[in-house]
Amino acid sequence: MTNPRPSVSWIGDARSGHLQLIDQTLLPVEYRELACTTVEVVWDAIKMLRVRGAPAIGVAAAYGVVVGCQTDATSTRDQLNSRLQHVVTYLAGSRPTAVNLFWALDRMHRTANSVPNLTSAELLERLLVEAKAIEREDREMCLAMARHGLPLLSRCQGVLTHCNTGGLATAGDGTALAVIFAAAAQNPSLQVYADETRPLLQGARLTAWELMQRGIPATLICDSMAGWVMKEGRVQAVIVGADRIAANGDSANKIGTYSLSILAKAHNIPFYVAAPSSTFDLTIQSGEEIPIEERASTEITNAFGRQTAPDGCRTYNPAFDVAPATHITALITEKGVIQPVTKENIHAMLKS
């Protein structure tokens, strides 16, 4: 069984259609779809993690530009251009780390600038075409990453993953999870260990749900158990996704990934990062320059509506950390596998 609908999709035409999302904050207890009919609803969905995963955020943002410009579809082109700039700037403020968000917004903005002679109504149609192209390309990239990454897991009996990188995080089958899905199809006995991924438990709520839907043997573990699972020889590889990859290969991903990279290195276990080319930010030379989002303290002290810490307890809640390139065995992209992970190899692959 797969998701009833893609995590991100468009319903209707350019003038009156809307962005449709699976509300990931309710899974796995409740499946509900969210109709995003205003740019404010799109912004909130990205900010509140109703849609999450770097590729899915990029697709949602592209469709959010269309939604946000519908109000000016009958205005002058200058008015629509002004509205477009406002919408792009507004959506860019929703989350700071996932570079796919800014990549998609920039692509939509460049699309508008490339067709100055279109009317406002015609431009809105063109923007929808571009957003749909971003969604389609993401699906194709997921398939390609699965194909390129499969040989790396072909001899594994167990694999460990962190956070959620499947169909819920993309427009297709996922990044790291797409590779796992392909490996499980080849080896049905493959055991997948999923970190719960604190503080919002995307591994428990989302990754375990996706794996179980597909009938893939899945074992949920607490984040602090990963080292012992490696020590016991239960996994032969670790594979994760990324929200931004610097020019040297340093990779930002959900908090806890840095620790996993150290543990994998200590146990001589290959550590793989799967991400499309849109996740690379070659303007940033290393992970030191990647902005790290810090989220509300209540995600730790009052997660899911129940208080678990004393009143007034101080917290530190970064949403991401950075696995250094020196700890990454290979980067899996839609263009191929980058190994060893060096600035030169990254540049050569992305320019191919």
In the set 72, 195, 243, 321, the catalytic residue is 243
Residues 6+ apart with CB under 8 A from 35: 11, 18, 19, 20
Report DSSP state, residue 175: S
Q: Name the residue with tokens 């063109």.
A: 126
Helices (H), 5-119: 39-47, 54-69, 77-92, 99-113
- In what helix (H) or strand (E) does residue 338 lie, and over which residues does it extend? strand 337-338
Task: Please answer whether residues 24 and 49 qualify as being in contact, where contact means their C-beta atoms are separated by less than 8 angstroms.
Answer: yes
Q: Name the residue with tokens 């989002």.
A: 293
DSSP for 3-25, please give it: -SS-SEEEES-TTT-EEEEE-TT
Cα torsion through 263, 267, 269, 272, rounded to 10: 20
Residue among 223, 333, 219, 233 at smallest CA distance from 273: 333
CA 280 to CA 239: how far, in whole Å? 17
Indicate if 243 belongs to the active site: yes
Burial code (b: 16+ CB inside 10 Å, e: under 16) for 123-142 equals: bbbbbbebbbebbebbbebb
CA 164 to CA 282: how far, in whole Å? 24
What amino acid positions are annotated as catalytic residues?
243
